[in-house]
Amino acid sequence: MAEQIIFVIAAAAALMSGALVVTLENAFRATVALIVTLVSVAVIFLLLAAPFVAAIQIIVYAGAIVVLFLFVIAYMGDRPAPGLEDRLAPYQAFTWIFVIALIGQAGIMLANSNLVGLYDEPAATDDIGSPEAIGRAFIDDYIVPFEATSAILLVAAIAAVLLAKRGVNFEGGR
C-alpha cells in the first residue's frame, strides 16, 4: 500500500512538473521543473526495483544534461525575440480544447482497458535493473537507438552554441 501511495505522489509530481516545463515562459524555472520531473521518474524507477536506472536518471539527466541546459540559458541570457509576435496566439483556445479532449480520451481508454497488470499485482522480475542487464540490452538490442540518441544530443549541444553565438552577434557582441 505504501508503494502505491509513493507511486501516485511521484507520478502526480512528474505529470505536474512536466506540464510546467512546457507551459512556463521563464526558461530557468522551466528547467527547475524539469529537474523535479526527472527526480520523480527516478523515484518511479526505484519503485520498479531498478536502482541503477534511477541512479543514472539522477546523475546523467538531472545532473549533466540539465546543467548543460542551465549553462545555455545563462549563456544566452533572458532576452526576448526581436520584433517577433506570436502568430499562434489566436489559436491558443483550440490547443487547450485539444489537450482537455486528449486527457478525457486517455481516461476513457484506461477505464475500458483490459491491460495485463492494470488491476492485479505486478509479476516479480528477476534481473530488470542491474548494470549487467542494462549493458546487455544496450549492446545487444538497443545499440542503434542508443547511438542515435547520443548523436541527437551532440547536435542539440552544437545548435545551442550556434544559437547563442547568433544572438550575441545580433546584439552587436558582448
- The whole-angstrom separation of Cα 106 and Cα 158 is 37
- The whole-angstrom separation of Cα 24 and Cα 142 is 34
Total-model pTM:
0.56
pLDDT (tens digit per residue) in 54-98 = 888 898 888 888 888 888 777 777 666 566 677 778 888 898 899
pLDDT (tens digit per residue) in 10-49 = 999 999 999 999 998 888 888 889 999 999 999 999 998 8
- What confidence score (pLDDT) does residue 79 get? 62
On whether the CB atoms of residues 39 and 79 are closer than 8 A, the answer is no
Q: How far is CA 137 from CA 62, 68, 89, 167, in A?
A: 22, 27, 44, 41
